[in-house]
Amino acid sequence: MSKVFSKDAGKEMNNTISKALEELRKGNIILVYDAEGREEETDMVIASEHVKPETIRTLRKDAGGLICTTVPPHARKCIGIPYMVDVLSHSKGIFPIVDGLKPNDIPYDTKSSFSLTINHRKTFTGITDRDRALTVSEFSKIVRMTLSCENGYASETFAKNFRSPGHVHLLNASDGLTLKRQGHTELATAITILAGLTPTATICEMMGEDGYALSKEKAMKYAEENGLVFLEGKEIIEVWRAEESSG
């Protein structure tokens, strides 16, 4: 965990990665495309600690997919946040229907990263821009707390301050991040770490007017028109692997 808040990350990286890290540190959104042959989707990505009501508005209006917040592996373990597939699996004895709902046929992946849905206890309905921004920003404080996981304090604080179900979807990142899985959950979490920020990102898929995922070309055009950095997953993976091998 010693390198999580390193401000030196990015000095030897290509210009696009370096610019992306700087934008994240400023609290701005970047765009991340996963890969050909995978989801083939572009997500808006922002560091969770910088999420504000206007951020949520941009994600829901300009992206249009599902707004989710990532959970880094150390926080998942420290707090005890489960994968939703495990929650359902353990409840099949009471609700047999869930056994038939296993996500074992995802065409681009082997396991769903979906976890709990949460609302902060100070929210009302939980769905408004202000409510979701509060939930996300307060969750990022819990993630930062888990960097020194001691005596169950983070877990107790999480339960005290949040309720479930809610309107913010948590996504559990895999151990090793992009070394094991190359989804937006891992890509976005990795780049917040490289930026030296609290290691959780809030992401949302970009949808097109035709009802399908926004094409890579249109996402790149959106980035150009709005002055945003556009990254491909392989760029993040390359840097993450280099950081891992050097660390």
**Which residue is listed with tokens 């707004």?**
67
Provide φ and ψ at 215, rounded to 5°: -65, 155
List the one residue out of 24, 3, 43, 14 whose CA is nearest residue 236: 14
Which whole number is the average pLDDT over 115-126? 98
Range of the domain at 94: 15-246
* 169 annotated active-site: no
173-227 per-position pLDDT tens digit: 999 888 888 889 999 999 999 999 999 999 999 999 999 999 999 999 999 999 9
**Structural domains counted in the chain:** 1
pLDDT at 31: 98
Q: Which residue in 39, 43, 49, 235 is the catalytic one?
A: 43
**Which residue is listed with tokens 């950081």?**
243
* 83 annotated active-site: no
**pTM of the prediction?**
0.92
Q: What is the mean pLDDT of the chain?
A: 91
Domain assignment present for 214 = yes
* 205 annotated active-site: yes
- Among 18-32, 42-56, 231-245, whose mean pLDDT is lowest? 231-245
Q: Which residue in 23, 34, 186, 205 is the catalytic one?
A: 205
2 pLDDT higher than 50: no
CATH value at residue 195: 3.90.870.10
pLDDT at 104: 84
Domain assignment present for 131 = yes
Render 148-189 in DSSP notation, one character per residue. G--TTHHHHHHHHHEEEEEEEEEEEPPTTGGGT--SHHHHHH
Domain assignment present for 186 = yes
Q: Which residue in 68, 78, 138, 232 is the catalytic one?
A: 68
Domain assignment present for 151 = yes
| Confidence class for position 10, pLDDT limits 50, 70, 90 | very low
* 167 annotated active-site: yes
* 119 annotated active-site: yes
| Confidence class for position 90, pLDDT limits 50, 70, 90 | very high
Domain assignment present for 56 = yes
Please, are residues 54 and 46 in contact by the beta-carbon 8 Å criterion? Answer: no
* C-alpha pair distances (Å), 241 with each of 71, 237, 238: 20, 6, 5
**Which residue is listed with tokens 């993450």?**
240
Q: Which residue in 149, 167, 243, 244 is the catalytic one?
A: 167
Distance CA 158, CA 146 (A): 10
Which whole number is the average pLDDT over 137-156? 89
Q: Which residue has the higher pLDDT, 152 or 114?
A: 114
* 43 annotated active-site: yes
pLDDT at 182: 85
Domain assignment present for 180 = yes
Q: Within 13 Å of residue 29, how many CA atoms lie on the same side as its CB?
A: 26
159 pLDDT higher than 80: yes
**Which residue is listed with tokens 């007017």?**
209
Q: Using alpha carbons only, give the angle 131, 133, 134 rounded to the nearest 5 degrees.
A: 65
Domain assignment present for 3 = no
Domain assignment present for 132 = yes
Q: Which residue in 33, 41, 119, 169 is the catalytic one?
A: 119
Q: Which residue in 14, 40, 99, 108 is the catalytic one?
A: 108
